[in-house]
Chain A
């Protein structure tokens, strides 16, 4: 799987947009970008994924650059409950089936009142 690079930590003011970057310069054509987060010591939580188009769901938006070498997760209006470690993960998708996720160290996002 392609390696990802994320800043170790970021701060964001409550109510503002949080923009979390991820570099994945060795990503292959069949690899998707996934974002998960882990609040305190809870289980990781799926946020969003994408291949090459920008994606939006009720939790976040994902912007993937045209060359697919980097992406940004956007939390449009961060709340204190968004304080968590955010993981950017790249994995190949080859149809339905089980697969393993390779977690890095992620970015610790602190939302500040």
Chain B
């Protein structure tokens, strides 16, 4: 079956540090891949997505590249800010609109 595996958090970084949150997936067919972010007290919102192999999604300084050969979609940001503190969810859909979410990774950025 389809699944998403994310690195466990929490991840604590200093401001301006480099961020990587690992995400790997298992899916039949060709899934679309997403990163959602949940800020404190808010609902999830789409951060970026990629719909086919080698696509790079990017938004707000975050990037993730769809790697079919390693079945990965790692989230990166070159310089994090305190305002990036949130929970990040990797997700996929494959064939339907039924999303499969990872467990979420909490990021805390210290000033």
Q: Do A and B bind each other?
A: no
Q: Please list the residues of chain B having a beta carbon within 8 angstroms of any beta carbon in chain A.
A: none
